[in-house]
Amino acid sequence: MPTLFPHLHDAPAKPALHFDARVIEYGRLVGLANSLSLRIADAGRVAVWATSSPYTCVGVLAALLAGVPVVPVNPRIGTRELDHIVSDSTPDLVLAAPGDDLPGALAALPRVDVELTVEETAPPVGTLPEPGEDSPAFIVYTSGTTGPPKGVVLPRRAVAGTLDDLADAWRWTGDDVLVHALPLFHVHGLILGVLGPLRRGGTLRHLGRFSPEGVATALEEGGTMMFGVPTMYHRLAEVLDAGGADGDRLAAALRGARLLVSGSAALPLHDHERITAATGRRVVERYGMTETLMITSVRVDGEYRAGTVGVPLRSVDVRLVDEEGKRIEESDGETVGEVQVRGPNLFIEYLGRPDATADAFAGGWFRTGDMATRDADGCYRIVGRKATDLIKSGGYKIGAGEIENCLLGHPGVAEAAVVGEPDPDLGERIVAWVVPTEGQEPPDAEELAEHVARQLAPHKRPRVVRFTDSLPRNDMGKVVKRALTHG
């Protein structure tokens, strides 16, 4: 049977995980994950309380070794979203760090604590047979335009394939020390950022939370690669721009890295340019999605062009399709079409949603909803998105409908429309237009933001709330969102 982690067998004598002062070497990681895997092997699915900590990494690794699919849960999740995820994915138990307080729906599940001390008798890796490539590895929740998030079921084949494709594009090896500060409940931080180093036999250095100083220190101390969302690179560019001792130190640290990778949203050209001007380094962009894992990347051995997301990864088929569903043959850098994808990197289904799964495909091709052009060298440039109801803020995908439904649950809100507006730091900021309930004082904007943060998650809270007497609607009564974003 293929294994997801070939290097656990030879357990190289070096750090696998490095979080602040906590360093876990491969030998210890194998023991920890293996003993935990035996304890949870009978579960059908496990939820993992995905704090930015080594407990999450050990818990996820143990579940994967046991062949038990993982549902990663944002530790800042709100009650409404958590209730949905738990009732939708029905985990048999939850893995968490000892002492972590779990909220309602998770506290009600049987709990297994993830330990970071090895038992003397820890069995060697390979005790449990890993399941086949088609079996599910993860159920990752992702927002759609309407309704609650959908559970994306990702097979083990997709995880292994995407990591090996990235290794090919980036010459990613076991010698690399990856630095990042991404959250561990999504594809970017968890699948690429934790499982990537472990599959290669390399090291992850996680910063706990993002800060430019933390990045500088980790790169000075041997980091070779960095992953980040555009908001993080924007914040690095601000420090570089400000210059002074902090700027100089950060520039030197970034110069020392082998590879700087940005993804999850578009990195604006201005930030590309500022980073390159200060460091001489080019930030490599890769493009992907929860449902497809990685699709394209700028290659380290390819020609570099800022503002493109590079070429299709080696095992991925990519095509552009026009509005009639016809394949676009032009590679002129101008003709815009929807990106559609085929390959071993794709998800299996949306959990329990055959309708949504079928809708997402066109003749075997997954429809990303992203609009792009392709140039003569086969490089893709993402130019927009089909749905105005999907917002990318700080690299998180957020459905407008989900926030509108949540706002409508507030007694002071009669009508709500949520849009994304350009934001130099977050890419897009969430703006809520609210018609207050008649005869009542309009609710406080901060209270509405708080309401969403509590029910869904803090990153889904509106950054701006605008009150209005009525929403612009078309003849069908549908809100015209473009009228809200363009004044």
Interface positions, 92-131, toward ligand MLC (CB under 6 A): none
Q: Which residues of the chain form contacts with ligand AMP (CB under 6 A)?
A: 142, 187, 263-266, 285-290, 309, 368, 370, 382, 385, 392, 397
User: Minimum distance between the CB of residue 292 and ligand MLC, rounded to whole angstroms?
Assistant: 9
Q: Of ligand MLC, ligand AMP, none, which one does residue 150 interact with (CB within 5 to 8 Å by kind)?
A: none
Please tell me the distance from the alpha carbon of residue 351 to that of residue 150, in angstroms, as a whole number.
7
Please, what is the end-to-end C-alpha distance for the chain in angstroms? 58
# of chain residues touching ligand MLC (CB under 6 A): 24
Interaction mask 383-422, ligand MLC, x per CB under 6 A: -----------xxx--------------------------
Of 90-98, 146-154, 187-195, 323-331: span binding ligand MLC (CB under 6 A): 187-195
Please tell me the distance from the alpha carbon of residue 18 to that of residue 453, in angstroms, as a whole number.
30
Interface positions, 18-57, toward ligand MLC (CB under 6 A): none
**Residue number, 166 or 187, with CB nearest to ligand AMP:** 187
Chain centroid offset of residue 486 CA: 29
Note whether 201 binds ligand MLC by CB under 6 A: no
Note whether 77 binds ligand MLC by CB under 6 A: no
Q: Of ligand MLC, ligand AMP, none, which one does residue 45 interact with (CB within 5 to 8 Å by kind)?
A: none
Residue nearest to ligand MLC (CB): 394
**Residue number, 36 or 400, with CB nearest to ligand MLC:** 400
Q: Of ligand AMP, ligand MLC, none, which one does residue 305 interact with (CB within 5 to 8 Å by kind)?
A: none
User: Minimum distance between the CB of residue 161 and ligand AMP, rounded to whole angstroms?
Assistant: 17
**Residue number, 73 or 309, with CB nearest to ligand AMP:** 309
Interaction mask 255-294, ligand MLC, x per CB under 6 A: --------xx-----------------------xxx----
φ, ψ of residue 312 in degrees (nearest 5)? -60, 140
**Residue number, 246 or 375, with CB nearest to ligand AMP:** 375
Q: Contact, 190 vs 163, CB < 8 A?
A: no
Note whether 74 binds ligand MLC by CB under 6 A: no
Note whether 342 binds ligand MLC by CB under 6 A: no
Of 97-105, 186-194, 273-281, 474-482: span binding ligand MLC (CB under 6 A): 186-194
Q: Of ligand AMP, ligand MLC, none, which one does residue 142 interact with (CB within 5 to 8 Å by kind)?
A: ligand AMP
User: Minimum distance between the CB of residue 450 and ligand MLC, rounded to whole angstroms?
Assistant: 5
The 111-113 sheet, strands edge to edge:
111-113, 93-96, 46-49, 70-73, 136-142, 150-155, 349-350
**Residue number, 273 or 450, with CB nearest to ligand MLC:** 450
Q: Of ligand AMP, ligand MLC, none, which one does residue 210 interact with (CB within 5 to 8 Å by kind)?
A: ligand MLC
User: Minimum distance between the CB of residue 420 and ligand AMP, rounded to whole angstroms?
Assistant: 12
How many Cα atoms within 13 Å fall on the side-chain side of residue 66? 24
Please tell me the distance from the alpha carbon of residue 32 to that of residue 121, in angstroms, as a whole number.
11
Note whether 182 binds ligand MLC by CB under 6 A: yes
**Residue number, 66 or 284, with CB nearest to ligand AMP:** 284
Of 43-51, 181-189, 215-223, 371-379: span binding ligand MLC (CB under 6 A): 181-189
